[in-house]
Chains A and B, each alone.
Chain A
Amino acid sequence: MTRAAVVALLLLTSTACSTLSTLHGAEPLAKGKHEFAVGVSLQTASNSFSYVGVPIPQLEFAGRWGLGQDVDFGFRAWLLGAGFDTRYRFWHDERHHLAVAPAIGGFYIPSVGGSVEFHAPVLGQVDLARWAKLSGGPRVVLRDQINPVSMPGGEKGSIARIDVFAGGGARLELAMGRRAWIGFSTDFYAQPARHAIPGWSLGLDFAFRKPDKAPAPNP
């Protein structure tokens, strides 16, 4: 690997990254069930290097666990950061689901800085068939990035910066057999806080989980 490639790789992985991709729908896992997923995507704005004009690839690993009727818990790790969320389904019938999944994430590296981010997605899902689910909805992400500043001459300080992503995403999930699912996602976000160019994501993910029974409709 050339020295330039090493530098580029170090810079890419040292960035304050978020992820803008949608990795799941609105239907929580039943109690005791769990799911594992891996996703790849091309994104802009979530990684600052994309502002040179090139979308940056992102790799994510996610796990989910059903905690009770209508609620599950998720963990997600990406380059560079990690987070968790709780998904709460507040309405459903036999084929439609509505949920909210507040999330928190971030990362920190000493001497580089870090960020903390809060997500508030409201998700809707339509079960097109037992093997196809279409989901999506609006999402707001607040990200607070803090970096130390060290000047020649020894002066030190820090700068905090807010990024707001306001938009949403959509995802189509198709079954591949009984335990595996493939997902195609697209997301688009305006950046109203910094008036920056919009961010977007195009993603592909694979999820592995045990099949669930059909849920009972809302009382």
Chain B
Amino acid sequence: MHGWAGGTLKIDGYRHGGRLRIDAAEAPDGSLVALDEDGLVLWSFAAHLGDAVQQLDDRGYDVSPIFPVNVAFSPASFMDFAAVENAAYVLGQRTFILFPDALDNVPLAANAGVVRHEFGHAWFELLASGESGGEIPWLSASADGALAIRSLNEGFADTVAGLLLDDPRFIDPSLVLPERDLTQDSISTGLYPNAGDDPLASLTYDPYRLGSVYAAFAWDVREATDPDAALALAVGAAQAWGDDAVWEDSDRYVLHFIDLADGDARDAACASAAIRFPHLDSPDCP
């Protein structure tokens, strides 16, 4: 992992910034504490990222193609006109972007679940495209298709975070967002993008609403089985969806999920899909 102070995030990629310098002092218990808040956030991010990779490695998943990654703290970008506390992953660039803390709770970039969510984006890219840091194959999708894929990507990232921590409200230590709760009763009807060629509608579409339905669907299977089983099905479904390369249809992820499941997992997936994706008709469900 390469950490950078600042730098510039352009449309065609990240331009490296300066050297990070995290000064630290020893606490009475022998641990090291960063001497400023940005250093604390960066260290926390790196620690959680390492933990997430270890968790996946322990479960037999190979995420090494994602590395090495860049971690850029508050780079200059077109988003400078506003401010946000967050963490983000830039598809195709193997780059995480961290923003400074502005609120009172656990900084988002230091939240164990949020870090796993962002890593989930990197993993989605690897599973669905077969590589990390290369061309993103679904860029050829229509505007509506691209927005639906964004939703699926967000849903998969929430799935990874929720299942690795076995916590459906992993954001709560930083922000209380009931709409991102993986146990909520959400359905997909009316949440699909329908922007057509209207750029204003594309700018205002919220991918997290449909994404939360995908994540809640996976959590329904977790509740019937266990986190590892649900995660394995999500991973397999993402990979199969990517292999299909039918970029206009994000719901094929749900159909693959059901197809890969058996026993209690399939029963739960079918029951969940019937409620959350009522327009879908899976041949594997009664």
Contacts and interface: CB of A to CB of B under 8 A. Distances in A.
B92 interface: no
Interface residues on A, range: 35 or more
Contacts of A213: none
A130 interface: no
A210 interface: no
A49 interface: yes
B210 to A, nearest CB: 16
A161 interface: yes
A194 B177 contact: no
Contact of A152 (B8, B9, B18, B175): B175
Interface in B41-91: 74-85
B103 A149 contact: yes
Contact of B102 (A3, A112, A159, A195): A159
B226 to A, nearest CB: 30
Contact of A49 (B74, B81, B102): B81
Contact of B78 (A52, A112, A147): A52
A104 B79 CA distance: 24
A3 B83 contact: no
Nearest to B18: A195
A157 B174 CA distance: 13
Contacts of A194: 5-7, 17, 74-76
Given A4-B199, A149-B102, A149-B103, A48 B17 contact: no
Contacts of B203: 7
Q: Is the interface of A mostly helix, strand, loop or mixed?
A: mixed
A153 interface: yes
A62 B23 CA distance: 45
A155 B8 contact: no
A158 B199 contact: no
B11 interface: yes
Given A53-B12, A157-B103, A195-B7, A48 B200 contact: no
Contacts of A7: 199-200, 203
Interface of B: 4-12, 15-18, 74-85, 99-100, 102-105, 175-177, 179, 198-200, 203
Given A151-B85, A195-B6, 8 more contacts: A4-B200, A52-B78, A112-B82, A113-B82, A153-B177, A155-B104, A157-B103, A197-B15
6 tightest A-B CB contacts, nearest first: A147-B83, A48-B80, A157-B102, A195-B18, A194-B6, A196-B76
